[in-house]
Structure 1
Amino acid sequence: MKKHWKKFSILTLSFITAMTMLLPSLASADAIEAQTVVTLGKDLTGTQRDNILAEMGVDENSGNVRIVDVTNQEEHQYLGKYLSDNVIGTKAISSAKITINNSGGISVKTKNITNITPSMYANAAITAGIKDADIYVTAPFRVSGTAGLTGIIKAFETATGQKIDENKKEVANEEIVVTSQLADQIKDPNKAVQFINKVKEEVSDQKPETPQDYRDIIVNVSNDFNINLNQETINNLVQYAQNFNKLGIDWDQISSQLQSLRGDIKDILNSDTTQGIIDTIFEWLGDFFSSIGEFFTNASDKKN
């Protein structure tokens, strides 16, 4: 009887050990399968949908990629406060793919996106709390890309099972809009992204309390970057800065994410105001030498 019991105990222990080793592998396999998520615009045609998936290198029937739809209603939900209905449109076209990576950091690539650059997506994604992800945003034809962040956030939530705070979603979408508008005004998308980052840094550091405090920050940063802003843009930036500050995001946390960026966006988003200061110096030198030239020209005219 003891022999049988001993044999049974050994078999039981072996079974438990085997299952203990197997279960983490199964869990790991599930995690790998859930790492890549594609969000497709709900209003894509069947052909467009197939082409987008082929472009992304995704096999819909493989079972390794989760595919979810993004609706135009969702786009209006997050952009409706900042853009008119006509600008947002009536169809969800932009699509996104997120792959959660183990190496850390964020990388972004786009295709057929005209107004929103990869660095804009990365910046807003960090504000929303997205990290450790390879992001790809595309469309079957050229679109502004403003609604692309909606798909990115939804894909990240689906891939990680983590729900992003609604306030962060709204501010991140607002950031996409104000950065795009600023880029359109100053004709420099990279400088616009750097400008927004500097505003976030100053807001986090100075802890402004009144609307005038926020306005002073915006004006001072614009001076540092040698940018002339119209009043409408300043008002929009003040409102955005106030909304960002309410999130209570520590700048060190954002800075850490910026340092872990990968690809060209790392250089863009980690740049400081140096270029703006250099531009200001060259402009001053230009005016200075121009004044000297005018002085000698006038002196010469008087002699003649």
Structure 2
Amino acid sequence: MKKNIGLLLLVFLIMVSFALPNGVSASTGGEGINEKLGLPIVVYGEALTDAQKAKVTKLLEVNQHDQVDEFTVTGQDIANYIGGNPNSNMYSSVKIIHQDNGAGLNIEIVTPDNITEVTKEMYTNALLTAGVENADVLVASSVKVSGHSALTGIYKAYDAKGVALDKERMEVASEELDVATSIGNQEGVDQAQVSELLTEIKKAIAEQNPATKEEIEQIVQEQLQNLNIELSPEDRQRLIDLFDQMRSLNIDFDQVKSQLDELAGGIENLVNDEGFWNSLTSAVRGFFQSIADFFRSVIS
């Protein structure tokens, strides 16, 4: 009987291992120190208590690496990098793993229930605007936060490692995140639609290379119509002003167009799959029900 129970337990563990999803960081552990790309970077929010920091350390799987470079992001950092409030409390934290050129920018929000306003697509859009590429970025918080401080933490990490990001681009990226979360909080517009809108506007800018603010306004209006999104005149103007700022900075959207294409495809699939969450819930419920049925049938 003990042998049968042991066999059943083994079967159960194998089935669970196939069912559970793998995160972005799954392929980065146990490989030693990458001397070419450097150590992974972990940036903790300054407002975390010791207990909260310990929880975030576990969430970000910091102990899977032989060594990491560790920093703390403060309210003064948000003032220095993007002109924010130096009295801000910083909670959201990040782990950054540099990758080879061409690997792309991959974002994973480890604690989606605690990052309440910023989606991974919003992070991706903002970081591409700021000039961050070719990295795996994990975001986590042990308390519910909007998620804005993680962006500043990423900027500080790159700065501390000697990678110069343009200050104006960082400020525009922060404004992009503010606009995205503000629009995404309004009735009738969800976060996935906002991410798709920003991505499609950037792709249109890459293709059309607008030279004036009027051309930016036309692109914004066309994409709003294409995606059937209704915005107030104030929010529409915020988008126009935002992308006109990007145009004036001469950001090369062609350079990241392939990443934008991948991002747009992922967002579109999620937006169009109306039954995604219901199907996922049903699948998980059915999986564990099948395990229970299996045990009952064998034991009986």
TM-score above 0.5: yes
Partner of 1:139: 141
- The range that moved more, 113-122 or 248-257, is 248-257
Shift of 1:79: 4.8
Code of the residue aligned with 1:176 in structure 2: it is L
Choose the corresponding residue for 2:94, options 85, 92, 96.
Answer: 96
Q: Distance in 2 between matches of 1:128 and 1:40?
A: 20
1:69 is matched by which residue type in structure 2? T
Map 1:66-215 onto structure 2 (within 5 A). 66-80=69-83, 90-102=88-100, 104-110=103-109, 111=111, 112-158=114-160, 161-185=162-186, 186-215=188-217
Deviations 1:257-301, CA, capped at 9 Å, x for gaps: 335x6xxx57335x49x96xxxxxxxxxxxxxxxxxxxxxxxxxx
SS state at 1:147 partner: helix
The CA deviation at 1:32 is: 5.8
Q: Deviations over 1:176-227 (max 9, x none)?
A: 1111122223432111111112222333443444443332222222111111
Would the aligned equivalents of 2:126 and 2:177 in 1 still touch at CA under 8 Å?
yes
CA deviation map 1:62-82 (0-9, x unaligned): 76100011111222344547x
Match of 1:57 in 2: 61
164 and 79 in structure 1: CA distance in 2 versus 1, 3 angstrom threshold: closer
> For 1:141, what is the secondary structure of its paired residue?
coil
**Partner AA of 1:97 in structure 2:** K
| Structure-2 change in CA distance of 1:267 and 1:158 (3 Å) | farther
Is the contact made by 2:56 and 2:142 (CA closer than 8 Å) also made in structure 1? yes
> SS of the counterpart of 1:113?
coil
Query: Any conservation in 1 of the 2:82–2:167 contact (CA below 8 Å)?
Result: no
1:33–1:162: structure 2 CA closer, same or farther, 3 Å change rule?
A: closer
How far 1:33 sits from its partner (Å)? 7.9
Question: Kindly tell me: are residues 30 and 119 of structure 1, through their superposed partners in 2, closer, same or farther at Cα, counting changes over 3 Å?
Answer: closer
Indicate conservation of the 8 Å contact 1:78/1:173, yes or no: no
The higher radius of gyration belongs to 1
| 97-106 vs 228-237, greater mean Cα deviation | 97-106
Quickly say closer, same or farther: Cα 1:220–1:258, change in 2 above 3 A. Answer: closer
1:44 to 2:48 alignment: yes
Which stretches in structure 2 are left out of the alignment for 5+ residues? 1-31, 273-300
Q: 1:255 to 1:114 in 2, by over 3 A?
A: same
Contiguous gaps of at least 5 residues in structure 1: 1-27, 276-304
Matched positions, count = 235
Are 1:127 and 1:172, in contact at CA under 8 Å, matched by a contact in 2? Answer: yes
- Give the distance between the partners of 1:241 and 1:266, measured in 2 at CA: 18
Partner AA of 1:108 in structure 2: I
Q: Under a length normalisation based on structure 2, what TM-score does the superposition of the two structures give?
A: 0.69
CA contact (8 A) 1:99 1:133 kept: yes
Whether the 8 Å contact between 2:117 and 2:147 is mirrored in structure 1 is: yes
Corresponding residue for residue 12 of structure 1: none
| Cα separation, 1, equivalents of 2:104 and 2:213 | 34
- 1:169 is matched by which residue type in structure 2? M
Q: For residues 116 and 182 of structure 1, what CA distance do their matches in structure 2 show?
A: 11
Which residues in structure 2 correspond to 1:205-244 (within 5 Å)?
Answer: 205-244=207-246
Provide the TM-score with structure 1 as the length reference. Answer: 0.68
Task: Report percent identity of matched pairs.
Answer: 29
User: SS of the counterpart of 1:142?
Assistant: coil
Note the alpha carbon deviations across 1:115-134, whole angstroms, 9 max, x for none.
00011111111111212211
1:125–1:153 CA contact under 8 A, matched in 2: no
Q: Secondary structure at the match of 2:141?
A: strand
Q: 1:112-155: CA deviations, max 9, x gaps?
A: 20100011111111111212211111112010112221112322
- Secondary structure of the 2:143 match is strand
